[in-house]
C-alpha cells in the first residue's frame, strides 16, 4: 500500500469509522509536547476536574469515595495534589464494585474489556472510544520522535487467533490498507521463524512492534541461522518498539544486533492506558496530557524521589466508562523526574520492572514450538469466575494450571479452560488443573503468572 494513502486516507478513515478522534488528538499532542511544565499542569488539572466530576455524578462508588476523602469535584482549584487524598484503587476493589463504578451511558458508549495480563488476576472493566483515541494519539506522537509516521510499513510480532473468524479476516484486510503485517508470536516453530525472517526481508518495514521475548527469540534464531548483524532490518528501519513485558538487557542487545536498529520501550497496560514511551535520549516520557502516573514507595505510599523504584499508580484522564482513578497497575518503575536531554519537559520513568513473562515450549510433529505466554493468558482471562491463576510448565509435556475459583466458577468453566489450552499447546501436553485457595509468589518473589521451568 502507498504510504501517503495509508497514512493520510486509510488511517484517519478507520479511526473515524471506529468513532475515535485520534488524528485531532495527535495534532494536539504534537503541539502540547513543547509546552512548559506550568502550561501542562493547567491542562492536566482541567481534565482531572472533568474526570472527577463525571465519576462523582455517574458512579456511586466514586461519589462515596470522594465524600469520605472530603474531596469536592466541583472545586475549581482542585489539582493533582488533592488527588492524593484518595486511597489507591486495587484490582480486587474494582472486581467487587465494577457496576457501581461504571458509567454505561458515557459519551460514545462503554465497551467491556478483560485483562489478566501479567498479574494472573483476571479483571473485567469498561473502556470507551476517547481513551482508545488518546492512547493511539500518544503512541503516534512517541513514534514521531523516531521519525515514524502513520502509514509507514510496519511488521507486528503479536498475538494472533488460533482460528480466523470473519472479524479477524476483516482485521487482516484493514492491516493491509494501513501498511501493517501481523506475524503470530504464538506459534514460533523453526519453520515459522524462517518464514518470519523472509517476511522481514521482503517487506523491509520502517518500524517493528511486538513482545520483547518473542522478538528476542526470533532475533536469536536469525543470528543462529548466520544472518549477518542487522540482517532482519534494513537501512530504512527506524526502531523496534517493544511492549507488554519487561525488556531484559540481553534481549535488548540481541534484538538490536539482529535488526540493526534501536529498541524502544512502549509501556502501557490494558486497564490503565498508554503510560510512557521511550525517547532517543533513553528515557520513558509520560503522556501527561492523558494520564497521571505516580510512582509510590510501597511501604509509605508517598511519591519516590528520582532514581528510586516504586509502585506505578495511574489516573487515566480520558476514560469515563470505568474511571481508573489512582489505580495500582501492579508494575514497578524507577522514577526519572522532569525534563530530559531530548528537550521534552514531561515526567519521565527510567525503567519499568516487575513484569516478566516466560515463553511456553510445546512439542509438535514439526519440532518445538515457542509460544508467548499471553497465548495461554488469553484463554484464562476470558473465563467467568476465575479469581486468580498461574501456569507453570514443569517439563516439555507437563503443564500445571493453578486456579483460584470465585463464586460463579463451574465445572463447565474448567472444561472450557482445558479445551482452550489444549487448542493452544497441542495433544502431546499433559495438562493438570489444580484448584488452590490462593496463589503465593514464587521463591524469587516474582508475581509472574506464566512460568516455564523448561531450559531453552
* 284 vs 374, beta carbon nearer Zn ion: 284
Nearest partner of 73 among 88, 55, 100, judged by Cα? 55
The CA distances from residue 13 to 6, 131, 193, in Å, are 10, 18, 33
Place of cell 511488521: 155
Kindly list the residues in this chain that would bind Zn ion in the complex (CB under 5 A): 279, 281, 283, 340, 342
Q: At CA 418, angle to CA 412 and CA 422, rounded to 5?
A: 145
* 78 vs 344, beta carbon nearer Zn ion: 344
**Minimum separation from the CB atom of position 279 to Zn ion (A):** 3
Contact between residue 253 and residue 265 where contact means Cβ atoms under 8 Å apart? no
* 280 vs 426, beta carbon nearer Zn ion: 280
What's the grid cell of residue 378? 488469553
CA distance linking residue 302 with residue 296, whole number of Å: 5
216: left (phi over 0), alpha (psi -120 to 50) or beta: alpha
Torsional sign, CA 219, 220, 221, 224? positive
Q: Are strands 450-452 and 430-435 parallel, antiparallel or unpaired?
A: unpaired
* 37 vs 342, beta carbon nearer Zn ion: 342
* 198 vs 281, beta carbon nearer Zn ion: 281
**Minimum separation from the CB atom of position 264 to Zn ion (A):** 11
**Minimum separation from the CB atom of position 342 to Zn ion (A):** 3
* 42 vs 341, beta carbon nearer Zn ion: 341
* 230 vs 280, beta carbon nearer Zn ion: 280
**Minimum separation from the CB atom of position 30 to Zn ion (A):** 15
* 59 vs 275, beta carbon nearer Zn ion: 275
**Minimum separation from the CB atom of position 284 to Zn ion (A):** 8
* 279 vs 360, beta carbon nearer Zn ion: 279
**Minimum separation from the CB atom of position 35 to Zn ion (A):** 15
CA distance linking residue 359 with residue 453, whole number of Å: 10
CA distance linking residue 52 with residue 80, whole number of Å: 11
**Minimum separation from the CB atom of position 360 to Zn ion (A):** 36
Which string of DSSP letters, residue by residue, matches 331-389? EEEEEEEE--TTS--SEEEEEEES---PEEEEEETTEEEEEETHHHHHHHHTSTTEEEE
CA distance linking residue 88 with residue 326, whole number of Å: 5
Q: Which residues contact 289 (CB under 8 A, 6 or more apart)?
A: 28, 29, 32, 40, 43, 44, 47, 138, 317
* 182 vs 264, beta carbon nearer Zn ion: 264
**Minimum separation from the CB atom of position 80 to Zn ion (A):** 21
**Minimum separation from the CB atom of position 145 to Zn ion (A):** 8
Q: Which residues contact 407 (CB under 8 A, 6 or more apart)?
A: 385
**Minimum separation from the CB atom of position 347 to Zn ion (A):** 11
CA distance linking residue 380 with residue 372, whole number of Å: 14
**Minimum separation from the CB atom of position 280 to Zn ion (A):** 7
* 126 vs 145, beta carbon nearer Zn ion: 145
**Minimum separation from the CB atom of position 134 to Zn ion (A):** 20
* 60 vs 337, beta carbon nearer Zn ion: 337
- CB neighbours (10 Å) of residue 96? 12
Contacts 24+ apart (CB under 8 A), 79-82: 79/41, 79/45, 79/48, 80/41, 80/44, 80/45, 80/48, 80/292
CA distance linking residue 291 with residue 273, whole number of Å: 8
Amino acid at each position: 500500500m502507498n504510504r501517503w494513502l495509508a497514512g493520510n486516507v486509510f488511517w484517519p478513515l478507520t479511526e473515524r469509522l471506529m468513532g475515535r478522534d485520534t488524528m485531532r488528538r495527535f495534532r494536539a499532542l504534537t503541539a502540547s509536547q513543547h509546552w512548559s511544565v506550568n502550561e501542562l499542569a493547567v491542562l492536566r488539572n482541567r481534565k482531572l476536574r472533568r474526570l472527577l466530576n463525571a465519576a462523582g455524578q455517574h458512579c456511586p462508588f466514586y461519589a462515596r469515595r470522594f465524600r469520605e476523602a472530603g474531596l469536592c469535584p466541583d472545586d475549581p482549584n482542585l489539582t493533582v495534589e488533592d488527588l492524593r487524598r484518595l486511597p489507591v484503587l486495587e484490582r480486587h476493589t474494582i472486581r467487587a464494585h465494577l457496576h457501581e463504578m461504571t458509567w454505561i451511558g458515557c459519551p460514545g458508549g462503554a465497551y467491556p474489556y478483560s485483562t489478566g495480563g501479567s498479574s494472573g488476576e483476571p479483571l473485567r472493566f469498561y473502556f470507551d472510544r476517547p481513551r482508545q483515541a488518546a492512547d493511539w494519539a500518544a503512541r503516534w506522537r512517541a513514534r514521531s520522535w523516531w521519525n515514524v509516521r502513520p502509514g509507514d510499513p510496519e511488521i507486528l510480532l503479536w498475538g494472533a487467533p488460533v482460528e480466523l473468524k470473519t472479524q479477524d479476516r476483516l482485521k487482516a484486510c484493514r492491516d493491509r490498507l494501513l501498511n501493517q503485517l501481523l506475524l503470530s508470536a504464538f506459534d514460533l516453530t523453526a519453520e515459522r521463524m524462517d518464514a518470519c525472517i523472509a517476511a522481514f526481508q521482503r517487506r523491509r518495514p520502517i518500524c517493528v512492534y511486538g513482545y520483547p521475548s518473542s522478538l528476542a527469540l526470533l532475533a536469536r534464531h536469525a543470528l543462529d541461522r548466520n544472518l549477518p548483524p542487522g540482517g532482519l532490518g534494513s537501512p530504512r528501519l527506524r526502531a523496534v518498539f517493544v511492549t507488554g513485558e519487561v525488556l531484559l538487557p540481553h534481549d535488548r542487545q540481541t534484538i538490536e544486533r539482529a535488526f540493526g536498529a534501536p529498541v524502544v520501550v512502549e509501556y502501557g497496560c490494558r486497564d490503565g492506558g498508554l503510560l510512557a514511551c521511550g525517547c532517543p535520549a533513553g528515557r520513558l516520557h509520560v503522556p501527561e496530557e492523558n494520564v497521571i502516573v505516580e510512582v509510590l514507595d510501597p511501604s509509605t505510599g508517598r511519591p519516590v524521589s528520582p532514581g528510586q523504584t516504586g509502585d506505578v499508580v495511574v489516573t487515566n484522564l480520558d476514560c469515563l466508562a470505568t474511571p481508573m482513578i489512582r489505580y495500582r497497575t501492579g508494575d514497578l518503575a524507577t522514577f526519572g523526574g522532569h525534563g530530559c536531554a531530548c528537550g521534552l519537559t514531561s515526567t519521565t520513568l527510567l525503567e519499568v520492572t516487575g513484569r516478566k513473562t516466560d515463553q511456553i515450549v510445546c512439542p509438535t510433529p514439526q519440532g518445538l514450538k515457542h509460544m508467548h505466554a499471553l497465548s495461554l493468558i488469553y484463554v484464562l482471562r476470558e473465563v467467568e469466575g476465575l479469581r486468580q491463576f498461574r501456569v507453570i510448565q514443569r517439563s516439555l509435556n507437563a503443564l500445571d494450571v493453578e486456579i483460584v475459583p470465585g463464586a460463579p466458577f463451574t465445572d463447565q468453566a474448567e472444561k472450557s479452560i482445558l479445551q482452550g489450552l489444549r487448542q493452544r499447546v497441542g495433544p502431546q501436553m499433559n495438562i493438570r488443573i489444580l484448584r488452590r485457595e490462593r496463589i503465593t509468589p514464587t521463591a524469587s518473589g516474582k508475581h509472574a503468572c506464566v512460568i516455564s521451568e523448561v531450559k531453552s
